[in-house]
Structures are given as structure tokens and as C-alpha cells.
Structure 1
Amino acid sequence: MKVLVTGGSGFIAAHVIDSLLQGGHNVVFTARTASKADHILQNHQNIPKDRLSYVIVEDIAKENAFDEAVKSDPPFDAVLHTASPFHFNVTDPKKDLLDPAIVGTTGILKSIKSYAPSVKRVVVTSSFAAIVNPKQSPEVYDESCWNPVTMEEALKTDPSTAYRGSKTFAEKAAWDFVEKEKPNFDLCTANPPLVIGPVVHQFDSLTSLNTSNENVRDMIQGKFKDGLPPTRVALWVDVRDIALAHVRAMERPDAGGKRFFVTAGFFTNSEVADIIKKNFPDLVSKLPDNYDAQSKEFPYKIDNSRSNEVLGLQYRSLEESITDLVKSLKAAGA
């Protein structure tokens, strides 16, 4: 299949591209700058140009931003839309988070409908942020759950609420678009919680690491020597598993029209510290000598069975994920 991947230089997207190429697909990805795009190409120097290339989309929140990107000869069969901001350096929630997420998502769907009639499947990277209810957890989280956040709360509360709002409204806008516009394609969404694992995308320095890996970077740099912080997001998935979930959601006919809650389960910061100490003796001095094992009693359960049954996912262990992440951070100079 010929596939367009948006936001190709992002943490998840870089692994999605790897997974697509391993599966024999041809990939075109979007990037904001040529230097970010060229870094991805350098990671795949043995892949010919007709199997991996890029187009520049400078601002996904602009009107018609993707019109040219979706045009292709030969035409695209599928689009994986991973481009959406995930950070808490927010000065203007609307401009920094909400518009790029919502307008970027509806914008690419409009462009596909208008200019890429060959596309039959679109997979959108959503998030557990669009599922979670921070005020009142249900007994079990699954794909039927939606974050009840309002636009007013997203604009006025705090950066994490704005982020959750951006993912919720963007995903809802995607489902609404497909229902109302009846386009040439069907839709799936992948809804991961905290995504951790080895880094293969370009980042300027270890200070500009993707948000979800920062906690482990801080651990191995000794920033928590005096004590581990509480575990903020208790659910996780390895980046290679969420990447494969995107590819399988694209490939498998019965995935169409479905959300996928893609998570390996619960974790705590004390488990992460234990794994680092066990596998990296040279880093033991960076971590606290003693810490209490943080409770694994959580106020809710999870049901990720759809990802197993429809996508055939078998999740990596936390130990494999953290070990590979630390190796990649050390290679990058941490």
C-alpha cells in the first residue's frame, strides 16, 4: 500500500514509518522543515526514494494545509494522521494546542475527501486523554468512554486540561466528519496513554525530548536523587506497539470504524527505577537509595481486549521498554 504519514518527525510517527517499511508499504511523510525530514531519510539510507519520501507542511492549523500533500501519483491507499502537539509549554491554549489538533484533523480529512479519492482508510492518533474522566473514573475504561471536558474548561483551566481537550475535540471532530460527509474512506483511532520507549526521531537536545520520555531522562540524570515523584499517568504503552497498532488498524478490514484503546497496563515510577537499577549498574548512584514501592491499587480497571482481538497486539514488557529507552538516551548523551 502507499501511505501518507503526517507529522513524520514526531516520536510516534518515526516508529510508525519504521513499522510501515518493515511491512513492505511505501511511505510519504509530512514534516515542518526539510532538516527534520532529512533526519528521517538518514535513518533509512538503504530505502529507495520511491519507497520513502516527504512533503513539507509548515503549519497543519492553516486552511487547506494538506491539499497538496494528499495528491500523489501513484495515489495513496491510506493516511495515518499522527501530527498533533503534545507538550505543556502553553501560552495560548487555543493557538498552541486546540487549533493544531482540531483544525489539523478536520483539515486533512477535508483534503483527502477533495483530492485523494483513492484513500480507503484513515487512522488518527488520538489519546487516552480523549477517554479519561479526571473528575470521576468509571469502573472500567474502554473504547466506549469519552472525556467530558468542555471547550470552556480547555481554554481556561490549565495546560493539561487544554491538552486533553485538544485530543478529545479533535477525535470527536473526526468521527463527526465521517458521519456527516460520508467520504471515500472509513476511520479508526488509536488511543494510547503515556507512550515510552526508544527514541529514533530527531530532537535538538535532551532538554527538548518528547514529553512522555522526560521522566526517565530525569531519573537517569539524577534529578530525583532525593526521592521519586508520584506516578502522574499510571497507564503506559511502548512506542513500537502503538506504531504497530497504527499499521494493523490500517491493514485490517474489520478495524474500520473503531477506536482502539492501546495500552500495556499500569506502571509506577518505583518499578521504572527498579528496572534501571537492575539493568544499568552505572546509573544506580543517580537514583535514590531507598524508596517505597508505589501502590499498584488504582481506582479503575482497563479493558484493552479490542486491541488484542482485532489488531492482534501482544504488548512488550515494561522492562523491555525502559531498558531500550535508557539505551537510546545514553546513546544520545544522557
Structure 2
Amino acid sequence: MRVLLTGGSGFIAAHVLDYLLEHGHSVVTTVRSQEKADKIKEAHPKYGKDKLDFALVEDIAQEGAFDKAVVSDPPFEAVIHTASPFHFNVTDVKKQLLDPAIIGTTGVLKSIKKRAPTVKRVVVTSSFASIVNPKKASWPEHTYSEADWNPVTAEEAENDPATGYRASKTFAEKSAWDFVQNEKPNFTVSTMCPPLVLGPIVHYLNSLDALNTSNQRIRDCMLGKWKDEIPATGTFIWVDVRDLALSHVLAMEQEDAANKRFFITEGHFSNRRIADVIAKNFPEYKDKVPSEKTPGGTLPEEGIFKVDNSQAQKLLGVKWRSFEDSIVDTVKSLKAVGA
């Protein structure tokens, strides 16, 4: 297939790109700068312009940002949309989180409908943030699945950056489903809802300073920042970035994934387990990582919500990587950039 991948230098997208190329697809990926395009190209020397090309989209929140990018010769058959802002150093929630996420998602769909009639499949990266009910905390009696939606309101969204981030994911995903319902485009949409995404970084795009938010906790543990106390885990479920990336590609390839929402998670974890895996597998960090006596980082005593990821397993057939393998591979990748 000829595929447009948005946000190609992102943590998740870099792995999506690897799987797309591995599966024999021809890819154009959007980047914010020529420098990023050059780095990605250098890292994939065996693929010519026919298999890997680039489109510059500097600001996904601009009206019509993707109008040029969706036009291609040969034309696109599918789009995987991963581009989205994710950081908490926010001063204006609406302008920095809500607008870019919502306009970025509806913008790409509008551009496809208007200018890329050959596109039949669109896969959008959403988040567990659009599933979770933050007011219920650990909610041990509940099982989360694709049927759940975060009940956040537009008013609550502007309370603080963390709520704003979760709201941006919720409203962006809802806007995608509304688009399908109201605009009746000639493409289907599938959405991916992962929780905390861990796993190896793509070294040519990342330094320890520019690490994706999820992996920062592994870096902090390696650097000795958890020595006296392990921080609260926060999100108690996770997935490996490679399993998530493969899920995007499989959802694009498989017809029965059309117009479905996928909860992409391996299951539960805790920060304490991160520390234990690093201690067990990397003796060189013995003096930096917490010991068995270090407080914090455990699962809540009252228990924790359950997860139902059966739709992803059944329709996409993903075999989840183990937590230990994921942490070990991540630590190795961080060591390669100087941890």
C-alpha cells in the first residue's frame, strides 16, 4: 500500500515506520523540519524515494496543514495519523493542547476527504486518556474496555495541564468519530488507545534530554533519582511501543479492523517493577536503583481496575511483549545514547 504517516519523527511513529517498510509498504512521512527528514532517511539507507519520502508540515494545528501532504503520485491508499502534542509545560491549555490535538485530527481527515479520494483506511493514535475516568482513581470493581469514554467536560479541560492533555485526546478521538458519522467519507477510521507506552527509543532521533514522557521514568530510575523513594506509578497499565506500532499497521492492513476502536495494552505494571527489572538485569546500576527496602511505587492496596484487551488480541492478533523484555530493551537503548 501507499501510506501517509504523520509525525514521523515521534516515538511511536518511528517504530510504525519500521513496520510499514518491513511489510513492504511505500511510505511518505510528515516531519516538521528538513533536518528530521534527513535523519530518518540516513537511518534507512536501503530504501529509495519510491519507498520512503517526506512531506514538510510545520504546524499540524494550522487550518489546511495537511492539504499538500495528502496529495501523492502514486496516490495514497491509507493514512496513519500519529502526530499530536504531548507535554505538560503548558501555559494555555486550549491553545497548546486542545486546539492542536482536535484541529490536527479533524484537519487531516478534512484534507483526505477533500484531496485524497483514493484513501480507504485511516488509523488514528488516540490514548487510554480518552477511555479512563480519572475521577474513579483505582476503581477495582471496574473493567476498562473500548466501550469506556473519559467523561471530561470542556470546562474541566482547562483546569490544569494533566486534565487538558486527557481532554485533548478524548475530544480529538470523538471528533474523528463524529467526522465519520457526519461527513460519510469514503474511508474507514480505526483508533488506537494505548496507556503508558514504554520500550526502546529510536536512537537517531532521541537524546536523553529529548526523551518521550513515558520513558523518562526508566531514565530517572537508571540515573539514581529513585534511590530514596520510588514515585507513584500514576497510570497502572502499559504497552510496548513495538506492539503498539505493529497494531497500527495491522489495523490498516486488516479489513475487519475498520471503524473500530482498539484498547492496546499488555496489562498492569508498577514503578517498583521497573526498578526490580533494572536491578535484576543490569548489575552496573546496582548503586543507583532502589533496593527492596526503598518505599513507594507499588500498586494501590485497595486493588486496581481490570482491563479487557480482547478485541485487539482477537482482531489484530498481536502477541504482547513481556514487561521484563520491554524494560531491558529500553535500558539498552538509553545506554546507547549515554545513560
Give the CA deviation at 1:91: 1.1
Partner of residue 166, structure 2: 164
Partner of residue 257, structure 1: 259
Q: Residues of 1 paired with 2:153 and 2:203: CA distance?
A: 33
Partner of residue 291, structure 1: 294
Secondary structure of 1:65's partner? Answer: coil
Q: Does residue 1:148 correspond to 2:148, yes or no?
A: no
- 1:48-93 deviations in Å (ceiling 9; x for gaps): 1110011000000001000000000100010000001111111111
Give the CA deviation at 1:291: 2.8
Q: Residues of 2 paired with 1:235 and 1:196: CA distance?
A: 10
Partner of residue 81, structure 2: 81
How many matched pairs? 333
- Segment of structure 1 superposing worse, 201-210 or 279-288: 201-210
Code of the residue aligned with 2:299 in structure 1: it is: S
Q: Residues of 2 paired with 1:305 and 1:204: CA distance?
A: 33
In structure 2, stretches of 5+ residues that fail to align are none
Q: Residues of 1 paired with 2:89 and 2:204: CA distance?
A: 19
Give the CA deviation at 1:206: 1.4
Q: In structure 2, do the counterparts of structure 1 residues 281 and 90 end up closer, same or farther at CA, with 3 Å as the change threshold?
A: same
Give the CA deviation at 1:296: 6.6
> Over the residues paired in the alignment, what is the CA RMSD in angstroms?
1.3
Code of the residue aligned with 1:13 in structure 2: it is: A
**Which of 305, 324, 329 pairs up with 2:329?**
324
The answer to whether the Cα contact below 8 Å between 1:117 and 1:184 also exists between their aligned partners in 2 is: yes
Partner of residue 182, structure 2: 180
Correspondence 1:111-260 to 2 at 5 A: 111-136=111-136, 137=139, 139-155=142-158, 157-200=159-202, 202-203=204-205, 205-260=207-262
Q: Residues of 1 paired with 2:43 and 2:28: CA distance?
A: 15
- 1:123-161 deviations in Å (ceiling 9; x for gaps): 000000000001124711000000000111111x11110
Q: Residues of 2 paired with 1:117 and 1:288: CA distance?
A: 55
Q: Residues of 2 paired with 1:204 and 1:264: CA distance?
A: 25
Partner of residue 45, structure 1: 45
The share of aligned pairs that are identical, in percent, is: 62
The answer to whether the Cα contact below 8 Å between 2:236 and 2:299 also exists between their aligned partners in 1 is: no
The answer to whether the Cα contact below 8 Å between 2:200 and 2:331 also exists between their aligned partners in 1 is: yes
Code of the residue aligned with 2:277 in structure 1: it is: I
In structure 1, stretches of 5+ residues that fail to align are none
- Segment of structure 1 superposing worse, 94-103 or 237-246: 94-103
Code of the residue aligned with 1:272 in structure 2: it is: I
Q: In structure 2, do the counterparts of structure 1 residues 80 and 96 end up closer, same or farther at CA, with 3 Å as the change threshold?
A: same
Normalized against structure 1, the TM-score is what?
0.97
**Which of 269, 272, 276 pairs up with 1:270?**
272
Secondary structure of 2:209's partner? Answer: helix
The answer to whether the Cα contact below 8 Å between 1:267 and 1:296 also exists between their aligned partners in 2 is: no
- 1:215-272 deviations in Å (ceiling 9; x for gaps): 0000101111112112111100000000000000000000001000000000011111
